[in-house]
């Protein structure tokens, strides 16, 4: 089982960034607008209503400019030199909805698009682009009460430094007295503790869910999962111990001492995407006395036999994109249900191993937590 998860993770990581909705040539509608993730005052990259992306890079003396987004096997999108000395190009087909990482190859070197903002993925700050999604309303910034996202530096004797975490507190937390349950939510390989708020809009998803009365407010904590020492294809070499110590012995006590939490196993959840799911599975099984809600987002599955004491588990949530391996998630949840676990599966339609899958997964998971 463990090997299977590792292989799943490896496969999905290698396909990272190359998820095209369709490759056929269609008529491109010329309604391109700047991507919502552009740097201030930057027109390019642009996206159109079909999901095509168009790039423009200024490098008049370059010989070759290529954007990593595009059809996987064919090395992305090759830009052509325009008459003004810039390089321009449009993806061969529409992209999947949501967030994509990318970079730009210029004369053999890997750089970022100066028009786009940067997001931490693949162990580097990458360019980001947003393909408008039909369901983007749930993570849109609206005129509603907003929770705060706090950067905390917590002492970590085991790593001999202060480590960073981000803590989402629900609207009104700061002047209230109520205590809240906590979700510890992990990023994937190549990412860090900035991913869930920056790429994932976890704070806006929560603000909107809370405003609509769809969830009981809770706190979210993101920290770095120490995953990035592991190179492609060597995930089986990853050892959980260092991160488990940071999370269980250092971060959770800090959060419980500095925030108004309900500091109990019954009010604590752990979730993670991709390699963060692998971490979640390992730590929830190692430490059943710490968490009672478990969620793996494109990050493997639990089998009924994995869990020693069923009475300690309130929910198992498994999800992935429809372009990943939904049958694995669906079958695992069926088996868990047969064994009388409270298990839920969610398949994100027409998305792959990317953040749109995980934004939607959080949106589906949040109402199921801390009931």
Task: Report the alpha-carbon distance of residue 250 to residue 15 in Å, rounded.
Answer: 34
Strands (E) across the chain are located at: 33-34, 46-47, 53-58, 65-67, 77-78, 80-81, 86-90, 98-102, 104-106, 109-111, 118-121, 124-131, 148-156, 161-169, 182-186, 219-223, 268-273, 293-297, 315-321, 343-348
Task: Report the alpha-carbon distance of residue 33 to residue 31 in Å, rounded.
Answer: 7
The CB-of-310 to its own copies minimum distance in angstroms stands at 36
Q: Which residue has the tokens 């260092």?
A: 242
Q: Which is nearer to its own copies, 57 or 275 (CB)?
A: 57
Q: Which is nearer to its own copies, 26 or 64 (CB)?
A: 64
The CB-of-141 to its own copies minimum distance in angstroms stands at 6
Q: Which is nearer to its own copies, 123 or 368 (CB)?
A: 123
The CB-of-210 to its own copies minimum distance in angstroms stands at 13
The CB-of-11 to its own copies minimum distance in angstroms stands at 24
33 with 50: CB under 8 angstroms?
no
The CB-of-121 to its own copies minimum distance in angstroms stands at 12
The CB-of-19 to its own copies minimum distance in angstroms stands at 24
Q: Which is nearer to its own copies, 116 or 295 (CB)?
A: 116
Instruction: Please report, as ranges, the residues that interact with its own copies according to CB under 8 A.
Output: 39-41, 57-64, 85, 106-112, 114, 117-118, 123-125, 141-143, 146, 148-155, 161-162, 167, 174-175, 228, 257-259
What is the DSSP secondary structure assignment for residue 175, as one 8-state letter? G
CB atoms within 10 A of CB 255: 21
| Residues with Cβ within 8 Å of residue 11, at least 6 apart in sequence | none
Q: Which is nearer to its own copies, 14 or 58 (CB)?
A: 58
Whether the bond between 45 and the residue before it is cis, its omega within 30 degrees of 0, is: yes
Q: Which is nearer to its own copies, 2 or 33 (CB)?
A: 33
Task: Report the alpha-carbon distance of residue 46 to residue 54 in Å, rounded.
Answer: 5
The CB-of-202 to its own copies minimum distance in angstroms stands at 12
130 with 55: CB under 8 angstroms?
no
Q: Which is nearer to its own copies, 23 or 257 (CB)?
A: 257
């Amino acid at each position: 089982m463990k090997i299977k998860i590792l292989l799943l993770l490896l496969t999905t990581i290698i396909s990272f960034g190359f998820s095209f909705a369709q490759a056929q040539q269609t008529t491109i509608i010329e309604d391109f607008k700047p991507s919502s993730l552009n740097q201030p005052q930057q027109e390019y990259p642009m996206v159109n209503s079909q999901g095509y992306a168009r790039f423009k890079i200024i490098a008049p003396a370059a010989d070759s400019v290529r954007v990593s987004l595009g059809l996987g096997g064919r090395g992305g999108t090759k830009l052509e030199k325009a008459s003004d000395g810039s390089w321009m190009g449009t993806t061969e087909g529409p992209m999947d909805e949501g967030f994509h990482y990318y970079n730009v190859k210029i004369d053999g070197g890997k750089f970022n698009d100066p028009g786009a903002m940067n997001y931490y993925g693949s162990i580097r700050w990458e360019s980001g682009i947003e393909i408008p999604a039909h369901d983007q309303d749930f993570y849109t910034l609206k005129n509603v009460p907003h929770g705060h996202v706090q950067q905390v530096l917590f002492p970590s004797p085991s790593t001999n430094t202060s480590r960073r975490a981000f803590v989402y507190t629900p609207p009104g937390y700061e002047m209230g007295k109520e205590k809240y349950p906590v979700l510890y939510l992990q990023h994937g390989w190549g990412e860090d503790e900035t991913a869930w708020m920056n790429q994932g809009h976890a704070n806006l998803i929560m603000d909107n869910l809370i405003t609509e009365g769809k969830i009981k407010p809770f706190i979210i904590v993101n920290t770095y999962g120490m995953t990035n020492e592991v190179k492609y294809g060597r995930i089986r070499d990853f050892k959980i111990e260092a991160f488990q110590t940071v999370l269980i012995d250092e971060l959770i006590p800090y959060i419980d001492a500095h925030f108004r939490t309900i500091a109990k196993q019954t009010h604590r959840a752990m979730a993670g995407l991709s390699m963060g799911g692998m971490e979640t599975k390992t730590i929830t099984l190692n430490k059943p006395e710490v968490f009672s809600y478990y969620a793996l987002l494109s990050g493997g599955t639990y089998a009924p036999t994995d869990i020693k004491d069923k009475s300690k588990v309130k929910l198992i949530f498994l999800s992935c994109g429809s372009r990943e391996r939904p049958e694995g998630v669906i079958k695992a949840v069926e088996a868990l249900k047969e064994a009388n676990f409270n298990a839920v599966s969610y398949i994100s339609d027409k998305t792959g191993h990317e953040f749109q899958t995980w934004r939607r997964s959080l949106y589906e998971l949040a109402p199921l937590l801390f009931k």
